[in-house]
Structure 1
Amino acid sequence: MQTQRFFIGHSAGEHGQDIDLSGFSSLQQLKSTLSQAFSFADRSSLLLHSNQSGELNSLEAVKSCKDPVELRVAQNAKTSIRVPPGPRELPVVGNHYEIYPDPLGNYDRLFARYGPVVKTVNMGTTIYQTNDPEIARYVLREGDLFTKTTSEQTHPLYYMQQQSALFTCDSDSPAFSIAHKFVPPSLSPRAVAHHTPLIQKAARSIFPVLDLLADEDKAFNVYQYMFKLAGMVIWGVVVNEDLEHFKAVDTKPAKTIQVLGEWLHLMKKTSLRPKWYGSLPFGDPAHLRAAQRELWADVEISIDNCTRKGDGPLPLSDPAASLRASCMADFLARARDENGEGLPRDMLISNVVILLGAGFTTSASLLSWCIYSLVRYPGMQERLLQEIIDHGADGKQDWTYDEVHAMPFLDRFVKEVQRMHNPSFQTARNARHDVVLPGGYLIPKGSIVIPCFPSLHKNPAHWDNPLRFDPDRWNEEGLAGRLARKGLYTPFAAGRRGCVGFNLALMEVKTVLVELVYRYHFEDSSPETVVYDPEFLVIRPINFYVSPTKRKQWPAPSPKA
């Protein structure tokens, strides 16, 4: 038996293995075994290196090598595999002040300085961030190398983790496969199309308040109003409730919405503190636990109120079953699989809570950034209004799912907003093993890796003029799909743990834009430079104001229309 020592890094002892070479008949066969044994993400990139002979290009050269053989990657053949670099840590806080209060700008700065994978330590928690699309593809791909384990205390969603809900449970949780069977059908294009009247009704509920503001020449805080409007949409579609958020200009959000917003805020805030902080029996950690108990109790009541118990079960095998549900929670409560089994009660409540929370917070932020883009980038309102007119808008039309998605400029505009101002940020994955990423970066087992979407979507190495807002970059048919497969454009993440609510989110945002742009012209009235909240779950503008003006005349349809 002939054995050889193989290793990664600078030392044959720390990350090394002894391999019996007698069973290999080719170098390619050996490389395949080594790439699997050392968890190379790109198994075709492995190179064999000797300090004495340089690159080893044959099996005979490997067998005759007297020294341990180092493994490297083709993309960086002259350098040993290493842990990603990062800024120097300070005592206790680590790199906190290298990241906050502007994580978006600071991560771009760190990528420019240290490369496509950066190690940061914040209050004792180590996170690896990447702006490289190839690396992001491997990280987001559920499999042998990476997974989503929210039950790990270092995961950004740890304090939100619910092992009975699709979005927040571990990928290896027994609940994942069960929830994945029931939740996606409730959010399918057919189901969302069925609920389009609820979306449009909620979108129009803001008109009386915006009319009053327009008459009085007043501005409004966009996120606060989109927070209430998105809540109207999501509560209507998910639990068939009218929250009546726009009875007056200053109507407060419904109590459940306030509790949910507080729960999300405290969860994110707690995740940025040292690990021991979340166990405190007082202060924010105690408030977080109390908010969760109250939220679950309120949502359970809403589910019971909207479920049509006398209408019988809804078989998952019937593609039209969702059309017989009054709302998504009604579908989830009555859906049955091939064995006649439904979602267990605890999973039903948890999944509805997460649908409400993830749905309205992300949509509120995306709607806010859409309005920001309308007023920030010249010509956008005019082009969007013309398209709406060309598709038959008259202020009274009941839009269908297909009609809204048939507007090409609207689609390109939303895509570009998601590229430039995407609300999602913390799509974290856990390394199952020590993993070697493209470029020769070693990610230790159990580490958190986050593809940084804002930086990915504006990476100058992969995008033409990335800081220019240009919806026409999406003119090429199928471009978004091709870029998604390359890992370059992932506004709803990717892989098995990608966002299952994207159909609803896009329909909501597009419908609201169609209704608002047809009725109003918006002007930026922000008193200062717009900033975002660095301690919230998603990226939201907190001081962005606009003034609405009611339209009194509209352009004629284009000749080609």
Structure 2
Amino acid sequence: MYKEFYIGCQNNVHSHRLDMSSFTSIEQLTTTLAKVFGFVDTKSLWLVDHKGSHLSTLKDVQETKDNVELRATCHVLGNYDRLFSLYGPMIKTVNMGTTIYHTNDPAIARHLLREDGFFTKSTSDSSHPLHYMADQDCLFTCDSASPAFAPSHKFVPPTMSPRAVAHFMPLIQDAAQSIFPAFDQLAEADLAVNVYQYMFKLASQIVWRVMLNQDLKHFESPKTPPSVPIRLFGQYLSLMKKSSMQPQWFKYIPFGVSTKLKNVRQQVLDTTEEAMDVSIQKNGPPLSLSDPKAIQGATCVADFLYRARDKDGKGLPYNLVLGNVVVSCGAGFTTSSSLLSWALYSLVRYPGNQERLFEEIASHRGNVDKRWTYDEIHDMKFLDCFVKEVLRLHSPSFQTARNAKQDAILPGGYLIPKNSIVIACFPSIHKNPAHWDNPLRFDPDRWAQQGLAAQMARQGSYTPFAAGGRGCVGFNLALTQVKVVLAELAYRYEFDDSSPEAVMYDPEFLVVRPLNFYAGITKRVH
């Protein structure tokens, strides 16, 4: 029996046929393939079928009816998966003197995320991976023990509740549709696009609209650059990342990255505050935090945070309003742009899903001018299953780090010393073969099983938005945003994979984003 192996594209000069009857193990096969194709590191060789599913045994390779593609590594965080497979569910890394523990075990991750006497989130700790962006005036970036955490956690989540997101649905849909003129021109010109660059502009357009009810006008033409506020956010994130790789004493030098970071941070705050001054109704009536319908009186999230009052008549201090709006904008479009990119990647990379999604959307839409409601967008079964599977296999969130408050012995007998940093590695948890059937296969239908999502969330096997007291408060907005965008784009366009090479993720960015994913766009005529 012969099997065709290839790198790059099928049926090109970089392919080779091998007689499978001569092989007795997967190791023997990969060693031969490495010699034939010139792979320097045999252990990095990754065999996949046409759906991208990992062929890990000789039987898998023999039974697949497809030609087999060779890759240098799995395209998403394969190194961590390999380490877990070699050393077990808890590994310890030491990098330049910094010790971090990592786990892919949901039973361990559940304890890490609880926020109890054993573990907490302290970004002020210089060993914490998010220390470089620590800000004690913001819900996402502050310590759990920060004075800002309790009031922020009381006022911010109501702005992201299902009722709140339902109220903002018109803003989300209008912002999603704003990309049409640019994509129409690109489709007519038969041009492929770097998907992340456009999803970065689209996600920021949506998030800025929901947070501040302002149109950034990102798509007046296909070449419209990101607006000034978003460029400032991008510069701020880039400088923070550079700062994180420098010694702590660098921040005392009156020039260089640290000084630039301080200046750009102030520009971000000033720009956001200017936008808030236009958006909030400073003389508007107070909005009761205890009234679920109060959000309907707000024009945007910033407006609600500014006017909301608790049962004692107290509001969120202004510095916390500004800080949380800034972080919600930055964190919101950074993660959403990656999620939208991976969603489009999954549409074109895994055959059949684009057609199924279009059919479902068309059957629910009725007419081209459809205005989606919150319930309608979340009632589409395949869309929901598809998004869940994107979040499982291509989660933008790599990790959430926790600090050990005391010596702790985790399930399995792992001793974690006090003050240690422990990371629940979400992509590896989502692909843990002990908890998932065929974990590397993209299969939205797995979520059609009644109650699977709740079951996997309870046991900690599915945590795309983390969990516990520091879980992502914006998950309702993120899910609604990606579903609305898919409902709009998949209905109007058909996409194809135009990537010139294997898609790689950015190992130095805050979240897992594709660097070189290109898609062709065809406008549907029927």
1:225-284 CA-to-partner distances (Å, cap 9, x unmatched) read: 000000110010000110000011111101110111121223234334444455554333
1:473-525 CA-to-partner distances (Å, cap 9, x unmatched) read: 00112211110110100000000100000000000000000000000000111
Cα 1:518–1:403, aligned 2, differ >3 Å: closer, same or farther?
Answer: same
Give the Cα–Cα distance (whole angstroms) in 1 for the partners of residues 406 and 251 of structure 2. Answer: 27
Equivalent residue for 1:201, pick from 143, 149, 174: 174
After superposition, residues 492-503 of structure 1 pair within 5 angstroms as: 492-503=465-476
The range that moved more, 103-112 or 306-315, is 103-112
After superposition, residues 115-134 of structure 1 pair within 5 angstroms as: 115-134=88-107
Match of 2:303 in 1: 330
Does 1:412 pair with 2:388? no
Does 1:168 pair with 2:144? no
Cα 1:103–1:273, aligned 2, differ >3 Å: closer, same or farther?
Answer: farther
Equivalent residue for 1:154, pick from 127, 131, 140: 127
Equivalent residue for 1:538, pick from 493, 501, 511: 511
Give the Cα–Cα distance (whole angstroms) in 1 for the partners of residues 345 and 280 of structure 2. Answer: 38
**TM-score of the two chains, using structure 1 as the length reference:** 0.79
The alignment yields a C-alpha RMSD, in angstroms, of: 1.5
- SS in structure 2 of the partner of residue 523 of structure 1: strand
Cα 1:279–1:110, aligned 2, differ >3 Å: closer, same or farther?
Answer: farther
Does 1:520 pair with 2:493? yes
- SS in structure 2 of the partner of residue 548 of structure 1: strand
Q: State whether residues 160 and 267 of structure 1, in contact with CA within 8 Å, keep that contact through their aligned partners in structure 2.
A: yes
Equivalent residue for 2:262, pick from 279, 282, 289: 289
Match of 2:183 in 1: 210
Q: State whether residues 316 and 338 of structure 1, in contact with CA within 8 Å, keep that contact through their aligned partners in structure 2.
A: yes
Q: State whether residues 76 and 394 of structure 2, in contact with CA within 8 Å, keep that contact through their aligned partners in structure 1.
A: no
Match of 1:372 in 2: 345
Does 1:361 pair with 2:334? yes
Match of 1:263 in 2: 236
Does 1:185 pair with 2:144? no
1:46-96 CA-to-partner distances (Å, cap 9, x unmatched) read: xxxxxxxxxxxxxxxxxxxxxxxxxxxxxxxxxxxxxxxxxxxxxxxxxxx
Gaps of 5+ in 1: 1-99, 554-561
The amino acid of 1:298's aligned partner reads: T
Give the Cα–Cα distance (whole angstroms) in 2 for the partners of residues 307 and 379 of structure 1. Answer: 45
Cα 1:316–1:413, aligned 2, differ >3 Å: closer, same or farther?
Answer: same
| Segments ≥4 residues shifted beyond 6 Å | 100-103
Equivalent residue for 1:400, pick from 373, 392, 404: 373
Give the Cα–Cα distance (whole angstroms) in 2 for the partners of residues 102 and 156 of structure 1. Answer: 22
Gaps of 5+ in 2: 1-72
Cα 1:286–1:124, aligned 2, differ >3 Å: closer, same or farther?
Answer: farther
1:327-377 CA-to-partner distances (Å, cap 9, x unmatched) read: 000000100111111111111110000110111110000000000000000
Match of 1:249 in 2: 222
Does 1:232 pair with 2:230? no
- SS in structure 1 of the partner of residue 365 of structure 2: coil
Q: Structure 1 residue 101: deviation in Å?
A: 13
After superposition, residues 20-31 of structure 1 pair within 5 angstroms as: none
Give the Cα–Cα distance (whole angstroms) in 2 for the partners of residues 310 and 243 of structure 1. Answer: 25
The amino acid of 1:312's aligned partner reads: P
Between the two proteins, the alignment pairs up a number of residues equal to 454
The amino acid of 1:230's aligned partner reads: A
Q: State whether residues 230 and 364 of structure 1, in contact with CA within 8 Å, keep that contact through their aligned partners in structure 2.
A: yes
Give the Cα–Cα distance (whole angstroms) in 2 for the partners of residues 236 and 391 of structure 1. Answer: 26
Match of 1:92 in 2: none
Give the Cα–Cα distance (whole angstroms) in 1 for the partners of residues 246 and 88 of structure 2. Answer: 27
The range that moved more, 121-130 or 174-183, is 121-130
Give the Cα–Cα distance (whole angstroms) in 2 for the partners of residues 219 and 396 of structure 1. Answer: 27
Give the Cα–Cα distance (whole angstroms) in 1 for the partners of residues 361 and 252 of structure 2. Answer: 52
Cα 1:392–1:181, aligned 2, differ >3 Å: closer, same or farther?
Answer: same
Give the Cα–Cα distance (whole angstroms) in 1 for the partners of residues 90 and 245 of structure 2. Answer: 21
1:153-193 CA-to-partner distances (Å, cap 9, x unmatched) read: 11111121111111111111121111111000111110100
Match of 2:447 in 1: 474
Q: State whether residues 123 and 272 of structure 1, in contact with CA within 8 Å, keep that contact through their aligned partners in structure 2.
A: no
- SS in structure 2 of the partner of residue 396 of structure 1: coil
Match of 2:463 in 1: 490
The range that moved more, 335-344 or 374-383, is 335-344
Q: Structure 1 residue 394: deviation in Å?
A: 2.3
Q: State whether residues 432 and 439 of structure 2, in contact with CA within 8 Å, keep that contact through their aligned partners in structure 1.
A: yes
Q: State whether residues 190 and 520 of structure 2, in contact with CA within 8 Å, keep that contact through their aligned partners in structure 1.
A: yes
Give the Cα–Cα distance (whole angstroms) in 1 for the partners of residues 141 and 77 of structure 2. Answer: 24
Give the Cα–Cα distance (whole angstroms) in 2 for the partners of residues 102 and 441 of structure 1. Answer: 30
Equivalent residue for 2:192, pick from 184, 196, 219: 219
Q: Structure 1 residue 401: deviation in Å?
A: 0.5
